[in-house]
Amino acid sequence: MKQEEQCCQQRVGKSYYEVIFLNTNNLILIVGDDGVIVEANPKAYKVFQEQKLVGRFFGELLDLDSNILQIIKERYPFDQQHEIDVRIGNESLIFKMNVSPLLGDSNLTAGVIAILNDLTPEVDNRVLIESEMMCHVQEKAHLDKMLEMIFLSVGEGILLVDEDREIVRANSQASEIFGILEQKLCGEELEYLTDGEGMQILNGLFNSLVEGEKQQAEITGHYSNGHQFPIAVTVTRVDFRKRKFWPIIVRDITEQKEYEIKLQYEMKRSEEMNVTLSNVLKSIEKDRREREQQVKNKVKQSLLPSLQKMTKTNDLEIRSTYRELIAQQLIELTSGFESRLDAGLLKLTGTEIAICRVIQAGRSGKEICELMNLAFETLQTHRKNIRKKLGLRGRKVNLQAYLAGKNCDV
């Protein structure tokens, strides 16, 4: 029974066909290309009085006069009914036997499936059974092929690990990630591919996952030359014939990690930039107010009194002195910066100046809109006006380039 279970292990999943295989009253023997039985159903075991069947020669078991499958095939052509006489113990039984080619499964390509039935049963459902068994075999071959294709062709590494933490299958991507040929990777202990901590994490996942569940983790991978690198693993669990297996999808995330670090750095930098920019905007506003205040003060303290005095007197000489004084005071109103100012820039409004500063700092239109809370159309109008005032209209001069050397501290 143990051996029977073992050979059945190769089958994927439990299907309708399997139920038939297990419960039919027909004897079903699946025979490998070497003429040796690789699978037999419970009924066959029963009829053969629980003798071992798997591993025995098909020909010998049924007294077919040859163990060579080729010869048996010639003698008992496919898809015909053959009557055979089999001695079991002291008894001689007569069976109807039907032999069909076994398709699909690569190591059984040339094998056959034999369905025998006792000539006594009331209902002859051989045809039914046979066609369904063929479907089973084909379905399985198909499924195997599909799984195989998926396994081989996905872009990520896949490792299939069993309860002993042994790698029982690996695809070429996994082989490339760890620098170990598939032939070597299969049969290798999983612990070779990671460090103690990684193994602990994996063991944790293995122990906690229920069938069909999925978990991810990032651990350290080991290349065959000792190089260590970050890997992302997605672990699932499948149960198969009372044994657990864990398919692990592996991705080398060295590049992703490097990219993440770079991205973090970039984000930090741009955050800093934003802070600086809003500070700039704030200081512009503050400057503006201070200057206004200064001008107000000057106008109040010197300009207005001078004007009053000038209007009060009729003395031409005094008037002219005051006129000069006022002119002087007017110049002083802007003193301290006017010398360095671009004549054109002086024509700009406060908003326009602010925009110039942000343009100078290299911000994009979209960023300016966000920072200054402007609609894009509004910004475009401002830009147009700025260009006009600076005499750039119609000239092929980029505003940022023009402003580059200028003092915008108006």
Residues near other proteins, by CB under 8 A? 3, 6, 34, 36, 51-52, 55-57, 60, 67, 164, 166, 172, 175-176, 178-181, 183-184, 187, 224-227
Tell me whether residue 5 or residue 370 sits nearer to other proteins (CB atom).
5
C-beta of 113 vs 167, nearer to other proteins: 167
Type of residue at 57: F
The residues facing 39 across adjacent strands are 30
- Which H or E run includes 239? strand 238-240
CA 405 – CA 397 distance, rounded (Å): 13
Distance in Å, CB of 163 to other proteins, minimum: 10
Q: How many CA atoms lie within 13 A of 6 on its CB side?
A: 8
Q: Count of residues for the chain?
A: 410
3-state secondary structure of 67: coil
Q: How far is the CB of 8 from other proteins (least distance, A)?
A: 12
Q: Which residue has the tokens 């029977």?
A: 4
Q: Which secondary structure element, helix H or strand E, spans residue 7, and what is its range?
A: helix 2-8
| 252 contact partners, CB below 8 Å, separation of at least 6 | 157, 177, 221, 229, 230, 231
For other proteins, the closer CB: 216 or 224: 224
Smallest distance, other proteins to C-beta of residue 279, A? 48
The CB-of-148 to other proteins minimum distance in angstroms stands at 14
SS3 sequence, 81-143?
A: CEEEEEEECCEEEEEEEEEEECCCCHHHCCCEEEEEEECCCCCCCHHHHHHHHHHHHHHHHHH
In this complex, which beta carbon is closest to other proteins, that of residue 50 or of residue 332?
Answer: 50
Nearer to other proteins by C-beta: 125 or 172?
Answer: 172
- Closest CB 55 distance from other proteins, rounded Å: 5
Q: How far is the CB of 176 from other proteins (least distance, A)?
A: 4
Report the distance separating Cα 215 and Cα 400, nearest Å.
51
Say how many CA atoms lie within 13 Å of 131 toward its Cβ.
3
Q: At what angle do helices 126-153 and 16-23 cross, to 10 degrees?
A: 130
As measured in angstroms, the least distance from the Cβ of 153 to other proteins is 12
Q: Which of 99, 92, 105, 104 is nearest to 126 (CA)?
A: 99
Residues 6+ apart with CB under 8 A from 317: none
Looking at the Cβ atoms of 115 and 170, the one nearer to other proteins is 170
User: CA-based Rg of the chain, rounded to a whole angstrom?
Assistant: 45
Q: CB of residue 280 vs other proteins: minimum separation in angstroms? A: 49
Q: How near is the Cβ of 52 to other proteins at its closest, in Å?
A: 5
Tokens for 22?
């297990």
Residue 224 or 301 with smaller CB distance to other proteins: 224
Nearer to other proteins, 67 or 125 (CB): 67
Residue placing its CB nearer to other proteins in the complex, 57 or 76? 57
